[in-house]
């Protein structure tokens, strides 16, 4: 049994794995009995499946690239309260497609993108920071966060949630951006210990707001724990 297998595990439904205890799967023809219980649009016989123990933002932004690159649609995004004892979420994302090859391709693109979108995730034993940015939001970001289609869009995430409040205020003041949403432990998250701020605007302004928030976040998270604050992979913003 291979760890982090890309080549498969003997099941045709298995697509691959990625960082964050992330698994990608595909079902060519969902059992009709199950399909009905899942309340997915019946026209999508094939579904692609992304699941992770750690991460929701990274996976949703990765899935957004998959929607752009394939003939598929995101039909469900659910955030578990997870991160394996951490303060955030895991996720379950379903792609619907009429053709199994499209569903598989969407999962492959997502798994490949997750390495990049983990780049501005920073964790210590005390909490975590997450920043995501895209120049052009597509269906996954629209469904998950209400991002306006085709516009620049970003999120800042801070945990414990108090840090997330400060990231939001910093981003809002750093450049001319428009608030799209604000989620907190009791309102819009799955009771995670995060504040998530979602915003759009001119792409330069959106990036500038994210970068300002990232600097403040690192300074604040450092007050709670002496661990080095480093990227999960490689920063991309």
Q: Which is nearer to a second copy, 81 or 231 (CB)?
A: 81
| Min separation Cβ 178 and a second copy, Å | 8
Q: Which is nearer to a second copy, 63 or 236 (CB)?
A: 63
Say if residues 36 and 81 touch (Cβ distance below 8 Å).
no
Q: Which is nearer to a second copy, 27 or 67 (CB)?
A: 27
Q: Is 32 exposed, middle or buried (0-12, 13-18, 19+ CB in 10 A)?
A: exposed
| Min separation Cβ 170 and a second copy, Å | 9
List CB contacts of 23: < 8 A, sequence separation 6 or more: 14, 16, 17, 49, 50, 51, 52
| Min separation Cβ 175 and a second copy, Å | 11
Q: Which is nearer to a second copy, 144 or 236 (CB)?
A: 144
| Min separation Cβ 155 and a second copy, Å | 13
């Amino acid at each position: 049994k291979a760890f982090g297998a890309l080549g498969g595990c003997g099941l045709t439904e298995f697509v691959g794995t990625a960082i964050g205890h992330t698994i990608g799967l595909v079902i060519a023809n969902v059992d009709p009995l199950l399909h009905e219980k899942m309340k997915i649009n019946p026209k999508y016989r094939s579904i692609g499946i992304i699941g992770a123990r750690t991460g929701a933002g990274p996976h949703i932004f990765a899935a957004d690239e998959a929607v752009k690159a394939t003939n598929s649609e995101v039909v469900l995004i659910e955030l578990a309260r997870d991160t394996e004892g951490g303060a955030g979420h895991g996720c379950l994302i379903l792609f619907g497609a009429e053709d199994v090859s499209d569903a598989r391709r969407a999962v492959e693109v997502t798994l490949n993108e997750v390495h990049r979108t983990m780049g501005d995730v920073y964790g210590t034993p005390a909490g975590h920071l997450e920043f995501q940015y895209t120049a052009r939001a597509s269906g996954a970001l629209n469904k998950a966060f209400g991002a306006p289609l085709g516009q620049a869009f970003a999120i800042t995430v801070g945990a414990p949630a108090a840090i997330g409040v400060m990231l939001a205020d910093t981003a809002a003041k750093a450049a001319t951006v428009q608030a799209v949403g604000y989620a907190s432990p009791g309102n819009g998250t799955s009771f995670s210990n995060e504040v998530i701020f979602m915003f759009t605007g001119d792409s330069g302004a959106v990036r500038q707001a994210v970068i300002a928030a990232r600097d403040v976040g690192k300074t604040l998270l450092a007050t709670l724990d002496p661990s080095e604050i480093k990227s999960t992979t490689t920063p991309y913003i």
